């Protein structure tokens, strides 16, 4: 057996002082298997040692919250004994190394987190971020990731209903792949990972254990260098067909009272699943690794414990239920083995070929994992952009609009979502391309809306404001389809936390998320932190992704963003100040990357959002879209394109600068379509709620018109909007 030294510990991702602490706690030097367990449980990905202190600031409680952070996924109550289980998680490093398998296993992993809790997955979403389109790796990474997401989700038969894709040079050396899943469960039949009872059988089910994914969790807690290709063996290999069998077998076993606790083998595999179950139950666990089903010969305890082979579960059963459970897993042609038992030792004890190969007190792996108070630097709010008439003198409004509509971050992503099955299961009632995806709760009138959002530029410019903004964006997207927002999940993607600037970005983003979610009563119920997203000392822009979930009590009240009828009025609800800092217009048209993000007024966000919901509930508006990236004109254009309608835009009084008005990215704004007979009723409600509005114009046939500045066929706008990604991927 390898003699463990400080250098070997460092090679396992541990710091010198961490290794010293381990030796001190154990009162001896760990053997190689024990070192492997410590390295897995004490890495950033599993221990949250840099983030734990700050995550406590998040708002996590609400009337409809059944389970907040700390379990495999969050759970919210949607009435009638129905509950939604959901979570978003990163698979960034694996996807950069091996895009297809990295993305595929990211989807598989997040689905296991959901059905582990007894829920049948009903929808997938994703938030994916790539480097500059001109970068040599971007196109192939995009192609591989999209194929991986579609390949896994389509095979297992869960619809992908929404997502987000962005491009930025900060992701050149470290793409982001965040996967989100929603599942439906009876709120009285939720399963948890807390082990209970003594001498209860611990069973292994699913696929066999192989050598794929070893050190995967440690790899996720490290930066990249020139030797990135050497890390391919750390990327897991997925099998969606086996996952489908595992899903059905687990749900079948969950239908009776056999299961005490269940945990999927995700990051750090058998190590994390066994330790976490025992820790939550304040118990010990004994495992005989000789009984673990292996697909490769002569696997060592070290390899078995660190393997991240996919499609595996660890279950604590009630005594006497072993044969019953075995019959179920045999029926589904899955491996089944009793590999251990719960104990009163409060230790993890590993047996291999009749020899004890590891013995560690559980609390040393969980409660005694390091918690760091990293130094961090506050980001100052940048000075406001100083623009004058000369900045706009040579511009043409139509040309500006077409250029922004073809921006990689604005352009239509149909090439991506066409590769995803979004109709399987037959309950998707709003597909990708709108503000949020919507699925019916099968057999009921209810529908669940979900969206995923991020705003790296805003967060990079001023993390506190950016953190608030991304929560508000999620809030607006749900409202725009008629859903009452309930809760969020977050995936916090940042650079190296050991750098004060990066850590400061994380801290302030978290504080912004906490402030906004509390004010909006939009609690965080699950999530994930992904640090060390950098290559050769170049980190990503801070990218917190927010997955929001809301409820539509009657799916017939759902609303979409496509314009419906000629002569209907179009209002911009919410005040436009013309903020151009960090906007697409400033970057693309003015070549100006400085300035602050748009400010966030949480009172306005809540008041205006609740007002929009009231208008939808009263059936006074027939389409809705929030104003976000790009501003009013791009938002209006998308509504025109989807509805195949035009718009005659009014000559707005008091408009000092049309470019600031039409392309400013002020927050807390929506565009709504109002039938002629409802206009006065809408105005009355807006006035009563002290909500500002602009009567923007009237729907017409085929063209967008604004004075002498714009006269564009909708077909031309559509071609402009749809052109970029399709051409980029086909050339």
Q: What is the average pLDDT value for the chain, to the nearest integer?
A: 94
pLDDT score of 234 more than 60: no
Q: State residue 2's pLDDT score.
A: 75
- Can you tell me the distance from the alpha carbon of 544 to that of 457, in angstroms, rounded to the nearest whole number? 11
- Can you tell me the distance from the alpha carbon of 430 to that of 484, in angstroms, rounded to the nearest whole number? 16
Which of 154, 148, 159 shows the shortest CA–CA distance to 125? Answer: 159
Q: Are 416 and 177 in contact (CB under 8 A)?
A: no
- The owner of tokens 């879209």 is 625
Span 160-187, pLDDT tens digits: 999 999 999 999 999 999 999 999 999 9
Active site residue 91: yes
* Orientation angle between helical segments 397-405 and 714-730, nearest 10 degrees: 40
Q: What angle do CA 24, 25, 31 make, to 5 degrees?
A: 85
- Give the DSSP letter string of 199-216: S-EEEEEESPB-STTTTH
pLDDT band at 218 (very low <50, low <70, confident <90, very high): very low
pTM of the model: 0.95
Q: Catalytic pick from 54, 91, 462, 703? A: 91
- Per-residue pLDDT averaged across 355-376, rounded? 94
- Per-residue pLDDT averaged across 454-471, rounded? 97
User: On the CB side of 418, how many CA atoms lie within 13 Å of its CA?
Assistant: 7
Q: State residue 74's pLDDT score.
A: 98
Which of 46, 48, 44 shows the shortest CA–CA distance to 56? Answer: 48
**SS (HEC) of 354-420:** CEEEEEEEHHHHCCCCCCCCCCCCCCCCCCCCCCCHHHCCCCCHHHHHHHHHCCCCCCCCHHHHCCC
- Per-residue pLDDT averaged across 441-467, rounded? 97
Which of 3, 23, 125 shows the shortest CA–CA distance to 489? Answer: 125
Burial class of residue 399, CB neighbours in 10 A (0-12, 13-18, 19+): exposed
**% of the chain with per-residue pLDDT over 70:** 97
| Contacts with 582 (C-beta within 8 Å, 6 or more apart), sequence order | 457, 458, 461, 593, 595, 596, 597, 598, 665
Q: How many other β-carbons are positioned within 10 Å of the β-carbon of residue 683?
A: 15
- Per-residue pLDDT averaged across 532-546, rounded? 94
- Distance from chain centroid for Cα 273: 22
Q: What sign does the CA torsion over 299, 300, 303, 304 have?
A: positive
- Can you tell me the distance from the alpha carbon of 443 to that of 449, in angstroms, rounded to the nearest whole number? 16
**SS (HEC) of 18-61:** HHHHHHHHHCCCCCHHHHHHHHHHCCHHHHCCCCHHHHCCCCCC
**Six-digit token string for 225:** 């260098």
| Contacts with 364 (C-beta within 8 Å, 6 or more apart), sequence order | 22, 25, 26, 38
- Can you tell me the distance from the alpha carbon of 105 to that of 707, in angstroms, rounded to the nearest whole number? 52
Active site residue 45: yes
- Give the DSSP letter string of 410-454: TS--HHHHTTS--STTS-EEE-TTSSSEEEE-TTSS-EEEEEEE-
- Can you tell me the distance from the alpha carbon of 407 to that of 720, in angstroms, rounded to the nearest whole number? 10
Q: Can you tell me whether residue 489 is helix, strand or coil?
A: strand
Q: Catalytic pick from 12, 45, 215, 703? A: 45
pLDDT score of 486 more than 80: yes
Q: Are 632 and 498 in contact (CB under 8 A)?
A: no
| Helices and strands of the chain, counted as H and E runs | 25, 28
pLDDT band at 55 (very low <50, low <70, confident <90, very high): very high
Q: Are 176 and 89 in contact (CB under 8 A)?
A: no
**Range with lowest mean pLDDT among 60-64, 295-299, 378-382, 653-657:** 653-657
Q: State residue 217's pLDDT score.
A: 47
Q: Are 515 and 468 in contact (CB under 8 A)?
A: yes
pLDDT score of 588 more than 90: yes
Burial class of residue 375, CB neighbours in 10 A (0-12, 13-18, 19+): exposed
Strands (E), 523-573: 524-530, 534-535, 538-539, 543-552, 569-573
Q: State residue 109's pLDDT score.
A: 94
- Can you tell me the distance from the alpha carbon of 205 to that of 208, in angstroms, rounded to the nearest whole number? 8
Q: State residue 368's pLDDT score.
A: 86
Q: State residue 1's pLDDT score.
A: 60
């Amino acid at each position: 057996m390898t003699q463990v030294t400080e250098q070997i510990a460092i090679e396992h991702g541990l710091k010198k002082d961490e290794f010293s602490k381990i030796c001190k706690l154990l009162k001896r030097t760990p053997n190689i298997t024990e070192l492997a367990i410590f390295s897995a449980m004490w890495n950033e990905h599993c221990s949250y040692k840099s983030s734990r202190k700050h995550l406590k600031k998040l708002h996590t409680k609400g009337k409809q919250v059944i389970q907040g952070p700390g379990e495999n996924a969050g759970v919210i109550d949607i009435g009638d004994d129905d509950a939604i289980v959901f979570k978003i998680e990163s698979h960034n490093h694996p996807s950069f190394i091996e895009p297809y398998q990295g993305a595929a296993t990211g989807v598989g992993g997040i689905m296991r987190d959901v059905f582990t809790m007894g829920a049948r997955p009903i929808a997938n979403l994703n938030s994916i971020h790539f480097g500059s389109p001109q970068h040599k790796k971007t196109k192939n990474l995009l192609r591989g990731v999209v194929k991986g997401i579609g390949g896994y989700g389509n095979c297992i038969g869960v619809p992908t209903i929404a997502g987000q894709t962005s491009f930025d040079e900060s992701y050149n050396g470290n793409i982001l792949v965040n996967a989100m899943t929603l599942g439906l469960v009876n709120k009285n039949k939720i399963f948890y990972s807390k082990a209970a009872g003594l001498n209860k059988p611990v069973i292994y089910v699913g696929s066999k254990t192989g050598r794929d994914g070893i050190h995967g969790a440690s790899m996720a807690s490290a930066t990249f260098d020139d030797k990135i290709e050497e890390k391919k063996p750390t990327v897991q290999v997925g099998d969606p067909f086996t996952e489908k069998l595992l899903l059905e077998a687990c749900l079948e076993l969950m239908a009776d009272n056999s299961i005490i606790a269940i945990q999927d083998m995700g990051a750090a595999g058998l190590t994390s699943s066994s330790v976490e179950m025992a820790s939550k139950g304040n118990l010990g666990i004994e495992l005989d690794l000789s009984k673990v089903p292996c697909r490769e010969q002569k696997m060592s305890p070290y390899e078995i414990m660190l393997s991240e082979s996919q499609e595996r579960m660890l279950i604590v059963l009630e005594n006497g239920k072993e044969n019953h459970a075995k019959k179920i897993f045999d029926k589904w042609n899955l491996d089944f083995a009793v590999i251990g038992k719960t104990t009163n030792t409060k230790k993890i004890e590993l047996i291999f070929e009749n020899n004890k190969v590891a013995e560690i007190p559980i609390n040393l792996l969980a409660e005694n994992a390091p918690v760091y108070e990293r130094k961090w630097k506050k980001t100052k709010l940048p000075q406001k952009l100083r623009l004058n008439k000369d900045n706009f003198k040579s511009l043409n409004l139509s040309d500006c609009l077409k250029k922004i509509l073809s921006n990689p971050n604005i352009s239509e992503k149909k090439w991506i979502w066409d590769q995803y099955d979004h109709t399987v299961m037959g309950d998707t009632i709003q597909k990708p391309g709108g503000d949020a995806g919507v699925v019916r709760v099968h057999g009921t009138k209810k529908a669940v809306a979900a969206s995923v959002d991020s705003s790296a530029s805003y967060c990079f410019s001023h993390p506190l404001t950016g953190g608030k903004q991304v929560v508000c964006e999620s809030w607006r997207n749900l409202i725009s389809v008629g859903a009452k927002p309930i809760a969020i999940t977050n995936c916090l993607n940042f650079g190296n936390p050991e750098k004060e600037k990066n850590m400061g970005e994380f801290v302030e983003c978290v504080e912004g998320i906490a402030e906004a979610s509390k004010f909006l009563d939009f609690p965080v119920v699950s999530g994930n932190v992904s640090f060390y997203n950098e290559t050769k000392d170049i980190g990503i822009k801070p990218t917190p992704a927010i997955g929001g979930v809301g409820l539509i009590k009657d799916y017939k009240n759902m609303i979409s963003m496509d314009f419906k009828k000629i002569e209907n009025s179009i209002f911009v609800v919410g005040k436009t100040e013309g903020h151009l800092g960090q906007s697409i217009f400033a970057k693309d048209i003015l070549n100006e990357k400085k300035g602050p993000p748009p400010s966030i007024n949480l009172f306005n966000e809540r008041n205006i959002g609740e007002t929009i919901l009231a208008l939808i509930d009263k059936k006074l508006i027939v389409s809705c879209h929030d104003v976000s990236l790009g501003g009013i004109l791009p938002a209006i254009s998308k509504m025109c394109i989807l509805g195949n309608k035009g718009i005659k835009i009014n000559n707005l009084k008091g408009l000092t600068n049309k470019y600031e008005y039409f392309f400013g990215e002020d927050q807390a704004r929506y565009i709504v379509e109002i039938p002629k007979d409802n206009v006065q009723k809408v105005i009355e409600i807006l006035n009563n709620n002290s909500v500002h509005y602009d009567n923007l114009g009237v729907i017409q046939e085929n063209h967008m018109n604004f004075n002498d500045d714009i006269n564009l066929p909708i077909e031309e706008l559509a071609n402009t909007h749809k052109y970029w990604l399709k051409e980029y991927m086909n050339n």
